[in-house]
């Protein structure tokens, strides 16, 4: 009886492992959060590291869903992005070695 | 006694020869010599291929090359820019950064500050109580063999299942190394090749920790970028100071070519050894991890909700892609390129291609949203340019 229980437990554990092995992980981000993060970071580096103009950068960071808008403070070298008011992200230029960082 | 002396002399001569740097007429630390090929019959084929202008710019079609530099025998033989770029503007590397991180780990090894057999915990002591992390060595990590579950997805499969997008812009962005190292163990370290921007982030951060402890915060620049003249190099970090070693390096195409040229010259630059003897050989040989298991190559497709390891058909060394057959009976990935070709490859068509037998480095930057420019076709179109 004990041996049978042990075997059953082992088999279930193995089945559990196999199932877990095949599970696709998901991350707790919604598209808007990712969209504003991408827009802030990539616009910052496009403008201040790659030294491209706003028209190029606007197209370069365009992602689906295309809902994030970004605002550039050229003096402070800060880019803020937002979507539907409540979703925002900010990236700033550090220096000529370390480029931009998403805050 | 005499025999012993001769043996000793021969041994030291052999060691000296192995460590000797290749002689070059000049080194492009300040600037590249130019020997431009101008004959249009030689350049037209390459330009028609690489600088396709299809449809409207907003449709993002074709191979949208933004920079192309070809270096043959130590001189630029071809150079062209487009779409607003020029020789002075740094371009995002995307995953070319992985090869840069691998090279920086090599610099740390050359300086005696890291070893390929080091546990990650030696360099990341904040994980000293984590047995999963401590079991991983730098060799396994730089071979994409951490064994951690990683879903290297981009725009195609849905953002919520991408370990990379969550790391760069989502839940993991503030401490990206922590994001990587808190993924669960999928396989024993060193037994499973999983292409992972996460592993490369950690490689870059290990190199940073090792080098900056001795040489200060600008060690990447003082120990690699400046000695080889990569003045435009930018290497970004997250808000916690981790190096974003899998994605975010920037440099001009001319400067990326200098990294290729360092590899071509087996880690030497102007008689100075930057990388250890034999590093380039190891970095551009198929890794033990890749040989061990290159993914699920059964051809069976699991449902989209299940995790499936991709089957990798292009062999990898230390974060450099290689023109070698991925398995017995398989063909090399770039059939028109010489067998010794190796490359750093990045999203949307970033490429540094090195061909030692041709004394050739090709750098291509671009913004291919409609399928990245194929390495084989690029090499095939460059080779006629440099043949007599």
For B37-76, how does the pLDDT look when each residue is reduced to its tens digit (9 = 90+)? Answer: 988 888 999 999 999 878 888 899 999 999 999 999 999 9
A41 and chain B in contact, CB less than 8 A: yes
Q: Give the span between the Cα atoms of A39 and A58, in whole angstroms.
A: 9
Does the pLDDT at position B30 exceed 90?
yes
- pLDDT (0 to 100) of residue B305: 81
Q: Give the span between the Cα atoms of B78 and B362, in whole angstroms.
A: 9
Record the tokens describing residue B213, joined without a space: 């402890």
User: Which of A27, A31, A99 comes nearest B234 by C-beta?
Assistant: A99
Record the tokens describing residue A35, joined without a space: 């969209």
| Chosen from B85, B173, B191, B220 to mutate, greatest number of chain A CBs within 10 A | B173
Find how far residue B387's CA is from the centre of its chain. Answer: 26
**Chain B: residue whose CA lies nearest to A17:** B186
Q: Kindly report, residue by residue over B224-259, the tens digit of the pLDDT.
A: 999 999 999 999 999 999 999 999 999 999 999 999
The answer to whether the peptide bond before residue B370 is cis (omega within 30 degrees of 0) is no
Does the pLDDT at position B9 exceed 90?
no
Range from B23-37, B42-56, B121-135, B321-335 carrying the lowest mean pLDDT:
B42-56
Per residue in B31-49, is it b (16+ CB within 10 Å) or e — as a string? ebeeeebeeeeebeebbeb
Mean pLDDT of chain B: 94
Chain A neighbors of B221, CB-CB under 8 A: 97
Q: Kindly report, residue by residue over B286-302, the tens digit of the pLDDT.
A: 999 999 999 999 999 88
- pLDDT (0 to 100) of residue A4: 55
Q: Are B294 and B265 in contact (CB under 8 A)?
A: no
Determine the average pLDDT of the residues in A66-86.
94
Determine the average pLDDT of the residues in B357-362.
98
Q: Are B336 and B379 in contact (CB under 8 A)?
A: yes
Q: Give the span between the Cα atoms of B53 and B56, in whole angstroms.
A: 8
**Chain B: residue whose CA lies nearest to A37:** B169
Chain B neighbors of A51, CB-CB under 8 A: 88-90
Q: Are B65 and B362 in contact (CB under 8 A)?
A: no
Q: Are B283 and B318 in contact (CB under 8 A)?
A: yes
CB atoms within 10 A of CB A86: 8
B165 and chain A in contact, CB less than 8 A: yes
User: What proportion of chain A, given as a percentage, has pLDDT over 70?
Assistant: 79
The reported pTM is 0.92
Q: Are B119 and B134 in contact (CB under 8 A)?
A: yes
* A63/B308 CB distance under 8 A: no
A96 and chain B in contact, CB less than 8 A: yes
| Phi/psi-derived region of residue B233, left when phi > 0, alpha when psi is between -120 and 50, beta in every other case | beta
- pLDDT (0 to 100) of residue B137: 98
Does the pLDDT at position B11 exceed 80?
no
Determine the average pLDDT of the residues in A31-48.
96
Sheet holding A69-73, edge to edge: A69-73, A78-83, A87-95, A99-102
A95 and chain B in contact, CB less than 8 A: no
Chain A neighbors of B237, CB-CB under 8 A: 94, 98, 101
CA dihedral B73→B46→B78→A61, nearest 10 degrees, is: -120
Per residue in A66-77, is it b (16+ CB within 10 Å) or e — as a string? ebbebebeeeeb
* A45/B173 CB distance under 8 A: no
Range from A81-85, B104-108, B345-349 carrying the lowest mean pLDDT:
A81-85
CB atoms within 10 A of CB B132: 17
Instruction: Give the DSSP letter string of A20-39.
Output: HHTBPP--S--HHHHHHHHH
Question: Regarding predicted confidence, which is higher, A22 or B155?
Answer: B155
Q: Give the span between the Cα atoms of B93 and B99, in whole angstroms.
A: 10
Range from A60-64, B101-105, B177-181 carrying the lowest mean pLDDT:
A60-64
**Chain B: residue whose CA lies nearest to A30:** B160
Q: Give the span between the Cα atoms of B296 and B187, in whole angstroms.
A: 13
- pLDDT (0 to 100) of residue B372: 94
- pLDDT (0 to 100) of residue B310: 93
User: Which of A26, A63, A101 comes nearest B236 by C-beta?
Assistant: A101
């Amino acid at each position: 009886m004990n041996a049978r229980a042990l075997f059953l437990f082992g088999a279930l554990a193995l089945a559990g492992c196999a199932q877990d092995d095949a599970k696709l992980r998901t991350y707790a981000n919604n598209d808007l959060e990712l969209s504003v993060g991408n827009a802030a970071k990539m616009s910052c580096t496009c403008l201040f590291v790659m030294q491209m103009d706003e028209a190029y950068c606007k197209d370069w960071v365009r992602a689906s869903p295309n809902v994030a808008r970004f605002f550039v403070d050229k003096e402070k070298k800060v880019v803020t992005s937002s979507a539907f008011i409540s979703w925002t992200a900010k990236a700033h230029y550090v220096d000529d070695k370390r480029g931009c960082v998403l805050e | 006694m005499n025999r012993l002396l001769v043996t000793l002399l021969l041994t030291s001569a052999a060691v000296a020869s192995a460590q000797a740097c290749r002689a070059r007429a000049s080194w492009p630390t300040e600037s590249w010599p130019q020997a431009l090929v101008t004959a249009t019959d030689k350049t037209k084929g390459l330009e028609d291929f690489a600088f396709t202008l299809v449809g409207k710019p907003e449709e993002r079609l074709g191979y949208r090359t933004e920079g192309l530099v070809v270096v043959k025998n130590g001189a630029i033989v071809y150079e062209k820019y487009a779409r607003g770029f020029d020789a002075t503007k740094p371009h995002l590397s995307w995953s070319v950064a992985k090869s840069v991180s691998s090279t920086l780990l090599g610099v740390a090894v050359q300086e005696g500050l890291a070893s390929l057999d080091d546990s990650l915990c030696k360099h990341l002591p904040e994980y000293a109580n984590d047995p999963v992390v401590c079991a991983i060595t730098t060799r396994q990590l730089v071979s994409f063999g951490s064994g951690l579950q990683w879903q290297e997805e981009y725009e195609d499969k849905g953002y919520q299942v991408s370990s990379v997008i969550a790391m760069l812009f989502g839940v993991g962005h503030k401490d990206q190394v922590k994001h990587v190292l808190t993924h669960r163990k999928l396989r024993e370290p060193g037994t499973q090749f999983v292409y992972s921007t996460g592993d490369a982030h950690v490689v870059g951060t290990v190199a940073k920790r090792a080098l900056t402890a001795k040489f200060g915060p600008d060690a990447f620049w003082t120990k690699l970028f400046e000695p080889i003249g990569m003045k435009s190099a930018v290497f970004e970090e997250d808000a916690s100071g981790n190096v974003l070693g899998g994605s975010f390096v920037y440099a001009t195409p001319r400067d990326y070519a200098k990294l290729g040229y360092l590899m071509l010259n087996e880690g030497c630059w102007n008689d100075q050894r930057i990388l250890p003897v034999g590093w380039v050989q190891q970095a551009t040989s198929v890794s033990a991890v890749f040989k061990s298991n290159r993914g699920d190559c059964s051809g069976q497709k699991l449902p989209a909700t299940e995790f499936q390891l991709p089957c990798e058909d292009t062999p990898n060394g230390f974060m450099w892609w290689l023109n070698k057959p991925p398995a017995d009976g398989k063909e090399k990935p770039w059939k028109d390129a010489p067998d010794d070709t190796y490359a750093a490859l990045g999203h949307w068509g970033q490429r540094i291609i090195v061909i030692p037998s041709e004394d050739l480095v090709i750098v291509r930057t671009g913004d291919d949203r409609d399928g990245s420019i194929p390495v084989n076709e690029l090499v095939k179109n460059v080779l006629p340019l440099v043949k007599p």
